[in-house]
Chain A
Amino acid sequence: MNKILKGEGFQNRYRFSGTLTTESPLHIGTGSSSNDPKFFSQGEIKKFKDEKKDPPEVSLIIKDVNNKPIIPGSSLRGVMRHWLQDVLAGFGNQWSQIRNYEERTLTELDQEEQIQRVKDFSWVEFIFGTPFHEGKIDIWDAKCATATDKKNGNEKKFLGWDDNTLTYVETSVAIDPVKGTAIDKLLYKYEVVPPGVKFEVDIVGQNLSDLEIGLVLLALEGFNSHIYPIQIGSKGGNGYGRVKYESGKIYGLSNTEVKDWLTGMLNKGDKSNDGGYYMLPELSEDKKSSLIKEAKSAITGGLQSSR
């Protein structure tokens, strides 16, 4: 199949929308921490003062300018690529391959030769990018789309709950397996997003073939797998980071449809306040399912032919 790079002339552009809803606690850390008194009860603060100890540090999650949690596009991109890589690796190098990009056989080629070599890279590499070419999909930061109902004001009374950031603090401790007691200095606290919080997903892709669309959709459905789900953030071994993906609309525009789209947008005139975006053709649910099915057939078909 002919592979087309993102910059090799406009063929098409797609936008995948949807939501991710947390099904277990989520912690995407920033590497920073805080022992701000707001994370502790009055009783704990008094105890720290009495014992002349500093409060422990709480590992913080990443938040946006409105102090609401976000899922960085880099996190989503990383886990989707990782999952596809893991699942497809055994079906052949044409699907997924772990490669050393610092090999001289690649770095010492001129750019034209590198471009040709890139087209022999696996499909996962081709879609997500390598040091030699830009990936064909852009994954935006997933913004929080949940606001809690403040009518009854109960949120303010919940112990440890921060209704502004929609987070609370979990505590873990390491137990010495030999002695059965808590190990000194290994009590740790971390901020988490609770289950039930929604995030808006937006992925934009350019010059995607049907197979590549199918692989992206396969990866998005990977969040919903009961068997080997994509997990986001840390503590995946303890069940954190599980989310449910619900597909929204998928818009696509090919180079042959641009004129019709522009005409339609202009005809909408002053009534249009969306820049014509939502006049783009949409992928039907049947088409989405069929693209995933065709991608799977291609994956296993390659296996059949190699046997």
Chain B
Amino acid sequence: MYNIAEYANGVYGILNARWKVICETPLVIRNGVRITQVKPDESKNRNVNNWFAWRERNEEKKLESEVTSLNFGYEVVNGKVRPYYKIPASSVRGSLRSWTINHLVHPDFLDVSMPAMTNEAAIKAELVGRALADPKSGYQVVASLFGQALNTEGEDNLSLAGRLAVTIKDLSGQVAKPFSFNGITDGSKEFNGPKNARQQVTVRNPLDRVTHASKEGALHQFMEFCKGETFSINLKIANPRPADLGFLSVLYREINAGMLRFGALSSIGRGRVKIEESSKCDLWLANYFDKSIFGSIHPNSERQSDILSELWEQYEIPLTSLTGYEQYLENELRGSHGA
């Protein structure tokens, strides 16, 4: 699985999984930005008739409080700047990496997956070297797919770019959607923020463990994407092997089983998604490459036009056939390379 000279002979193919994903539970992915919630007056209104403003809170105004926004970015469309909610690919990639480390890396090598601090670089390099030398450590899968960054140089350089790239096609288009606040549609008097996803604001209230009463000042609200929101995850694996299809199969099952979740607050049920059955998976392989290592695969009947057509051939991999490749992944982890 792992090869420090991975790209010495170029790139011979791409495994391209395009997953359409629907949120089975609310999803919380933030970027640390806070927006403002405004009360109509000082009475205890239980958040009825509050509205949200896409700006910083004015601390001098007692009627204003902060709410942490969901992750958003900006885009330029026809010369106009427009904010949009997004699921950062780094978040999804991080979740996949975290799952891989926790489930495929032997416990003795878990420390290897931690980022190297400058003063521990030499120790880290030695640990990584041992982990990579032993396929049963499981770390080869992590390093090969997600990459390896180390402060080493020269012939001992163990840094390697990962073969896995993640892109996200963003949340269900740019159609404005209502902003829900505890089921009440907000007036959005000042809200010029993103509107391309249905969001809701949820309240949490920590209780004191001893008195069972509310902790003073701890009541807080947070925004989340609503259940039912959809987006697409595109996984591309360069120079694919059969074990990579086995890896995709395992991810597919774990995501749909709810064991692999995205974003924050998974401990209170957030972040579960489902991959729809209409999702696709293709292998693009250079004409010179021996495709027999993947067993019986067939050219895709719905060929996608691409600049690489005529140089590379496109093969369809039905989602149902992925499980047949899990044995290759298992072989990799056992140290017996099946492919």
| Residues in A lying within 8 Å of B, measured CB to CB | 24-25, 41-43, 85-91, 96, 98, 146-149, 154-155, 157-161, 163, 166, 168, 170-172, 174-178, 180, 183, 186, 192, 194-197, 218, 221-222, 224-228, 235-239, 242, 292-293, 296-297, 299-300, 303
Given pairs A146-B76, A176-B114, 20 additional interface contacts (CB within 8 A)? A41-B56, A43-B56, A43-B66, A85-B10, A90-B12, A90-B286, A158-B192, A171-B32, A172-B88, A186-B115, A194-B74, A225-B308, A227-B308, A228-B14, A228-B284, A228-B308, A297-B310, A300-B287, A303-B287, A303-B288
List of 6 A-B pairs having minimum Cβ-Cβ separation, nearest first: A89-B10, A196-B76, A239-B167, A177-B98, A221-B307, A86-B11
Q: A158 near B74 (CB under 8 angstroms)?
A: yes
Interface pick from B79-87, B175-183, B318-326: B79-87
Residue of A whose beta carbon sits closest to that of B53: A157
Given A227-B14, A227-B16, A300 contacting B310 (CB threshold 8 A): yes
Q: B307 near A222 (CB under 8 angstroms)?
A: yes
How many B residues, CB 8 Å from partner?
Answer: 68
List B contacts of A90 (CB < 8 A): 9-10, 12, 286, 288-289
Give min CB distance, B147 to chain A, whole Å. 7
Give min CB distance, A7 to chain B, whole Å. 30
B226 within 8 A of A: no
B33 within 8 A of A: yes
List A contacts of B77 (CB < 8 A): 196
Interface pick from B125-133, B157-165, B246-254: B157-165
Interface pick from B38-46, B89-97, B196-204: B89-97
Q: B73 near A225 (CB under 8 angstroms)?
A: no
Q: A161 near B167 (CB under 8 angstroms)?
A: no
Give min CB distance, B240 to chain A, whole Å. 12
Given A89-B10, A146-B76, A195-B76, A296 contacting B167 (CB threshold 8 A): no
List A contacts of B10 (CB < 8 A): 85-90, 96
List A contacts of B8 (CB < 8 A): 98
B113 within 8 A of A: yes
The A interface is mostly helix, strand or loop, or mixed, namely: mixed
Q: B161 near A237 (CB under 8 angstroms)?
A: yes
Contact pick for B284, options A41, A166, A227, CB 8 Å: A227
Residue of A whose beta carbon sits closest to that of B34: A43
Contact pick for B79, options A87, A148, A183, A195, CB 8 Å: A148
Q: A175 near B94 (CB under 8 angstroms)?
A: yes
Residue of A whose beta carbon sits closest to that of B8: A98
Give min CB distance, B25 to chain A, whole Å. 18
Q: B89 near A239 (CB under 8 angstroms)?
A: yes
Give min CB distance, B78 to chain A, whole Å. 8
17 A-B residue pairs with Cβ-Cβ distance under 8 Å, sorted by A, are: A43-B56, A86-B7, A87-B311, A146-B79, A148-B76, A148-B79, A158-B83, A159-B56, A195-B73, A195-B75, A227-B16, A228-B238, A228-B308, A236-B165, A237-B93, A237-B166, A238-B88
Give min CB distance, B335 to chain A, whole Å. 23
Q: A239 near B168 (CB under 8 angstroms)?
A: yes
B67 within 8 A of A: no
List A contacts of B9 (CB < 8 A): 89-90
Report the Cα distance A86→B312, complex, angstroms.
13
Give min CB distance, B126 to chain A, whole Å. 20
Give min CB distance, A187 to chain B, whole Å. 8
Report the Cα distance A306→B28, complex, angstroms.
55
List B contacts of A157 (CB < 8 A): 54-55, 192
Residue of B whose beta carbon sits closest to that of A300: B287
List A contacts of B59 (CB < 8 A): 43
Q: B311 near A299 (CB under 8 angstroms)?
A: yes
Contact pick for B311, options A146, A174, A236, A296, CB 8 Å: A296
Give min CB distance, A218 to chain B, whole Å. 7
List B contacts of A197 (CB < 8 A): 76
Report the Cα distance A174→B204, complex, angstroms.
26
Q: B35 near A149 (CB under 8 angstroms)?
A: no
Residue of A whose beta carbon sits closest to that of B18: A226
Residue of A whose beta carbon sits closest to that of B80: A149
Give min CB distance, B267 to chain A, whole Å. 9
Report the Cα distance A236→B36, complex, angstroms.
33
List A contacts of B287 (CB < 8 A): 300, 303
Q: A174 near B115 (CB under 8 angstroms)?
A: yes
Residue of B whose beta carbon sits closest to that of A174: B115
Indicate the member of A155, A159, A292 with the most B CB atoms within 10 Å. A159
